Structure 1
Amino acid sequence: MQGLHHVALFVTDLDASLQFYRDVVGMQEEWQPDPDNIYLSSGADNLALHRLPADADLQGQQRLDHIGFIMATPEHVDQWHAHLLAHGTRIAQAPRTHRDGARSLYCLDPCGNLVQFIYHPPISPLLATLSAD
């Protein structure tokens, strides 16, 4: 196994979600097979946005708490906080340092999905090394 690098989200507003993940977060469009689905990447991952059908209801079995983006340093979390605020993003929890040394913030995407930006000590340095190769 090479880790978890793919998340698929149902969204009620595909255009606003695309704008957020592409223009605010900085992901690149990989592929849009049809008007209801689009795939994005930040380089070593894949985020699929699927338009929720108008007659569908996510109440019930949906169990997603949040998705997360790994940051290279704790300072990057604070820089992202400023960036998100500058783009009018709703902040759910301002940056804070956790007991394990991780530092994170939470915001909401245009459809209300909780998104975390986190420096995680065991993973962040490893990913920084891999991306430098």
Structure 2
Amino acid sequence: MKRPSPFNGMRHIALVVEKFEECEAFYTEIMGMEVLRKANEHLVYLTSGNDNLSLGRAKTQRICSPISVDHFGFIVNSKQELQDWYEFMRAKGVTLLDEPHDHSDGARSFHCRDPEGHVLQPLYHPTLSCQTLF
């Protein structure tokens, strides 16, 4: 059987969180995501415009995977935008795990934590940044 056409990227992550309200506030107020839809008081869908992040309240959502996620990334369009995000998050008191640094492939990133402890990687990447997806 022939493999179908390639996927069009990974644009949906679903997290189950204990600190539901704090995480929703972090992703909307700090990360600038918008509420796409509130399915109910225990489930909200957020977006940056070309992605979808689902937050489910831990006590009501079924946890589907026993495997932990190391981190997930948010793409920015330039190294300057990355620096601007770093300065903004530092000013907002976000837990920063390192400073912006270059990678051997021309990328640049830093790492931080959301209120639940998930590690996020704001990232400039020369082949992914500035892509128009829609």
Normalising by structure 2, report the TM-score.
Answer: 0.88
Identical-pair percentage: 33
Partner of 2:110: helix, strand, or coil? strand
After TM superposition, give the deviation of residue 67 of structure 1 in Å: 1.3
Partner of 2:54 in structure 1? 48
How is 1:99-114 mapped onto 2 (pairs within 5 angstroms)? Answer: 99-114=104-119
Structure with greater helix percent: 1
Deviations 1:78-129 (A, max 9, x none): 110001011110001211011111000100000000001000111113x1xx
The residue aligned with 1:96 is 101
CA displacement at 1:57 relative to structure 2:
8.6
Q: Does 1:6 align with 2:12?
A: yes
Aligned partners of 1:99, 1:3: CA distance in 2, in Å?
A: 23
Deviations 1:34-92 (A, max 9, x none): 111110000000000011118x899x922211111001001111110001011110001
Mean Cα deviation higher: 62-71 or 100-109: 62-71
Q: Are 1:84 and 2:84 an aligned pair?
A: no
1:123 aligns with 128
Counterpart of 2:22 (choices 8, 13, 16) is: 16
Runs in 1 of length 4+ with deviation above 3 angstroms? none
- 1:71 to 2:76 alignment: yes
> Structure 2: 5+ residue runs without aligned partners?
1-6
CA RMSD of aligned residues (A): 2.0
TM-score (norm 1): 0.88
* Structure 1 runs not aligned, ≥5 long: none
Alignment of 1:52-63 (within 5 A): 52-53=58-59, 61-63=66-68
